[in-house]
Amino acid sequence: MSKQALLIIADGMGDNPIPMLNDLTPLEYADTPHLNALASKGLFGNVYPVKPGVPVGTDVGHLAIFGYDPYEIYTGRGPIEAYGAGIDLHPSDIAFRGNFATVDDELMVIDRRAGRINQNTEELAQAVDGIMLSNGARVIARALSAHRVAIVIRGKNLSEHVTTTDPGTTREGKRVQQSVALKEDSDSIETARVINELTEKMYAVLSLHPINQQRIIEGLPPANMILLRGVGREIQAPKMTESFGIRGACVAGDRTVLGIARMAGLDVFHRESFTAGYDTDYIGKAELALSKLKEGYDWVVLHIKAPDLAGHDCQPMTKASTASKLDKMAGYILQRLDLEHCYIGYTSDHSTPCERRDHSGDPVPTFFAGDDVRTLPIEDFGEKYLVHGALNNLTALDFFHIQMDHLGAVKKLGA
C-alpha cells in the first residue's frame, strides 16, 4: 500500500517574541507535547511562504502550500473568492472580491462593511445575481462570510486591466471609485464602462431592497452597495491533483482556503461547526480528516483559521491557547494514525505577529513526520527551536514537493 499524508495548516501561527509571553512566541509559550513529539520524528524548520521578507495573503500562502508558484499564477484575489463561493470560472470571466457597504445617494461611502453585516446577505447577493449589462454580460453574485461577496462578470471581450471601485480600507467619506481602463484598448475601456454601469445598477437594486428598508428601520446601515476590488481572471493552471496523480481532500471552515483547495483539485469538506473562528470544532475536523484518510485519499489537508485571527486582534494569550488546542487535536490524531502508513505534516500559510496585527514575511514553523523520514532531536516546538532543522529556510513550495516526493508522486527528472 502506498503511503498517505495528513497536513495540518495553522493559519497565521508564526509569530515573534512577545513581552507579555516572557519574550516567547505563542507557539513557544504554549504547551505542545504532541507537536514536539511529531517534530522529533521527522524533518523540521522555519519555512518561507514565498521568499524571505515577503509577507503574503491567505490566498497566496495557500497557493504555495498547495504546490503552485504564486509568482507564476496569481492573478488577483477576485478569482480566489469566486472559487471559494463555488463559482466555476470561464476563461473569459473577470472576477472581483466584493464588500457589502453603505453609501449615501451620492455614492459617498459611509461604512465600507455595512456595519459588518452578517445576516441576509444571501438574499442581497441574489438581488444582484443575474443583472444584465449593456454589453451583453451577466453578473454572478454569491454571498461569502460576513460582509464579503464574490462578484463575477461573465461576457465577451472583458479585460482585467481596469481599476476597481473600492476607495480603500481607510477612506470612508470618499465616493465609490469610477473604474478606469489601465490599457488603451477598446476591451479595457468598455470593461471599465460596464463596471461603472454595474455600480449604478447595484445601488438601484440594493437601496430599494426590503432587507435594507428593514435595516434602516432598525437603525442599521443598509448594505446598498458592493465595493469591488482584486479583479482577476481564472487561474490558468492545471489541477495539482492531476499534475501529481493524487487524490486530495481539504477539511476547513474558511471559504478562501476551501476555494483554493477546490481550484487545486482537492475535494473539499465543510461542516456547520467549522466556523473559521475561535470556536471551531477542532476534534470534528480531526475526525473528518481521519475518515478521509480511511476512504483512501492520498493527501488530506486540515485547516485551522483561529491563530490568524488572534494575530490580527493582537491577543497573544488567545493565540497561545489556539496552539494548545491544536496540540490536543494533534494528540487525538496521533492516537489514531500509524506513522508507518501515514505521514503527518504541519505548517502555516504565513506569520501574523500579534504586535504587527498583520501578516509578516517571517518564515513559519513546519514539520514532516514519518516512519522513514530523516530525524533530528528537537528541544521544544516553536520558532527558535526549529532553526536547526533540515527544512529551515526552504519555501512552502519546496515543502510541498518534499511531501509529494515521500508519497512517490514527483516524476523523476532524467533517467
Sequence letter at residue 406: H
Contacts for 219 with CB less than 8 Å, ≥ 6 apart: none
What is the closest distance, in whole angstroms, from the C-beta atom of residue 25 to a copy of itself in the complex? 8
Contacts for 276 with CB less than 8 Å, ≥ 6 apart: 145, 252, 253, 254, 255, 305
All three cell numbers of 278, joined, read 475561535
Return the half-sphere exposure (C-beta side, CA atoms, 13 A cut-off) of residue 150: 27
Complex with a copy of itself: residue 1 or 412, whichever CB lies closer: 412
What is the closest distance, in whole angstroms, from the C-beta atom of residue 170 to a copy of itself in the complex? 16
Give the single-character DSSP code of 343.
Answer: E
What is the closest distance, in whole angstroms, from the C-beta atom of residue 378 to a copy of itself in the complex? 12
Complex with a copy of itself: residue 53 or 245, whichever CB lies closer: 53
Distance between CA atoms of residues 365 and 346, nearest Å: 8
What is the closest distance, in whole angstroms, from the C-beta atom of residue 387 to a copy of itself in the complex? 5
| DSSP β-bridge partners for residue 97 | 150, 229
Complex with a copy of itself: residue 107 or 410, whichever CB lies closer: 410
Complex with a copy of itself: residue 50 or 162, whichever CB lies closer: 50
Write the Ramachandran bin of 110: left for phi over 0, alpha for psi from -120 to 50, otherwise beta: alpha
- Residues in contact with a copy of itself by CB under 8 A are 16-18, 23, 25, 46, 50-61, 63, 70, 74, 77, 97, 230, 353, 355-356, 358-363, 372-376, 383-384, 387-390, 392-394, 398-406, 408, 410, 412-415
What is the closest distance, in whole angstroms, from the C-beta atom of residue 3 to a copy of itself in the complex? 10
Complex with a copy of itself: residue 127 or 410, whichever CB lies closer: 410
Distance between CA atoms of residues 257 and 280, nearest Å: 15
All three cell numbers of 263, joined, read 481550484
8 Å CB contact between 45 and 340? no
Nearest partner of 133 among 149, 154, 150, judged by Cα: 154
What is the closest distance, in whole angstroms, from the C-beta atom of residue 78 to a copy of itself in the complex? 10
What is the closest distance, in whole angstroms, from the C-beta atom of residue 356 to a copy of itself in the complex? 7
Complex with a copy of itself: residue 286 or 391, whichever CB lies closer: 391
DSSP 164-176: -S---TT-TTSBP
Complex with a copy of itself: residue 133 or 310, whichever CB lies closer: 310
